[in-house]
Amino acid sequence: MSEVTNTTKGPFYFILTGIPGFEDSHIWISIPFCCLYTLSILGNTTILNVIRTEPSLHQPMYLFLSMLALTDLGLTLTTLPTVMQLLWFNIRKISFESCFAQFFFLHGFSFMESSVLLAMSFDRYVAICRPLHYATILTSEVIGKIGLAIICRCVLAVLPSLFLLKRLPFCRSHLLSHSYCLHQDMIRLVCGDIRFNSWYGFALVLLIIVMDPLLIVLSYSLILISILGTATWTERLRALNNCLSHILAVLVLYVPMVGLSMTHRFAKHASPLVHVIMANMYLLAPPVMNPIIYSVKTKQIRQGMFRLLFQRKVH
């Protein structure tokens, strides 16, 4: 089959790229990638199992944490097949439909991560600033509605960009610069008018990538004002410690995200290796680091893990 793109329906397949300049070392490079994916899957499934089996953790904060773990698991499983088959078997082709499916889930779970972190910041605000009303505000029904709203928000955000991109002709090279299908990577291969796509992408950036961090900062500003009004330094430190895990999770998501955006915007002529490293940091850092952060910083999760491990040894 020749690698000629169809200008009416798009290419029959895209070609993925591994680590530029290190193609001969893909087998060795696959070892750290395999370790990171394994760590992410084990860490997030363990957190989900701990929250499921510990009745004391069936509280709003941990229900939101289980949403975060599910999102991280989804993000990991979305990129794992194409990354590992490229590194292990040098399988670079991905079908047109498969690429768009990966595009949908990859960006959907990425937006979902941001939305869950925003919901978790609201949980911390209510817990610290409205402690007496915490149980009545964040009921199981409200948490379920927040979860459903997050799913709807992310699906409705990603679907239009998918259909807008899919209708355009791909008449240039269909060589992607990553080992998975990113919107900003795929749109470079379009030879039609992409102005509407660009404006829609800009609106998405404002509504999710910009608004979510601003609302998180707002919630922590209100928390800080409330904390500074408390009586003792001990209470202030305890309140801040309760927020530390979430603050670290926010930084782990947004620092690589901003770095990737800045690289695509202002370092277009930088080495392809730079773009690949930034993209992999953006996609792998949150799923790998979040379970570590919450298991180290959250006593209840850590104790639940020890109990789960001990029970398995006994059986």
CATH superfamily, region 13-304: Rhodopsin 7-helix transmembrane proteins (1.20.1070.10)
Q: What is the pLDDT of residue 163?
A: 92
Q: What are phi and psi of 93, to 5 degrees?
A: -80, 140
Q: What is the pLDDT of residue 312?
A: 60
Burial classification of residue 140, based on how many CB atoms lie within 10 Å of its CB (0-12 exposed, 13-18 middle, 19 or more buried): exposed
Q: What is the pLDDT of residue 4?
A: 38
H or E, element range at 57: none
Q: What is the pLDDT of residue 2?
A: 38
H or E, element range at 95: strand 93-95
221 vs 166: CA distance, rounded Å: 41
Stretches in the chain below the pLDDT threshold 70: 1-11, 172, 231, 268, 312-315
Q: What is the pLDDT of residue 308?
A: 81
252 vs 270: CA distance, rounded Å: 23
Q: What is the pLDDT of residue 231?
A: 61
Tokens of 138: 């964040």
Q: What is the pLDDT of residue 6?
A: 47
Q: Where are the domains of the chain?
A: 13-304
Q: What is the pLDDT of residue 305?
A: 87
Q: What is the pLDDT of residue 83?
A: 96
104 vs 157: CA distance, rounded Å: 10
3-state helix, strand, coil in the chain (%, to 5): 80, 0, 20
Return the number of other C-beta atoms located less than 10 Å from residue 262's C-beta. 11
Q: What is the pLDDT of residue 188?
A: 85
Q: What is the radius of gyration, based on Cα positions, of the chain?
A: 21
Q: What are phi and psi of 13, to 5 degrees?
A: -155, 160
pTM above 0.95, yes or no: no
Task: Please name the residues in contact with 2: beta carbons below 8 A apart, sequence gap of 6 or more.
Answer: none
H or E, element range at 24: none
Task: Please name the residues in contact with 191: beta carbons below 8 A apart, sequence gap of 6 or more.
Answer: 7, 169, 170, 171, 172
Give the total residue count for the chain: 315
pLDDT in tens, 56-69: 899 999 999 999 99
310 vs 166: CA distance, rounded Å: 51
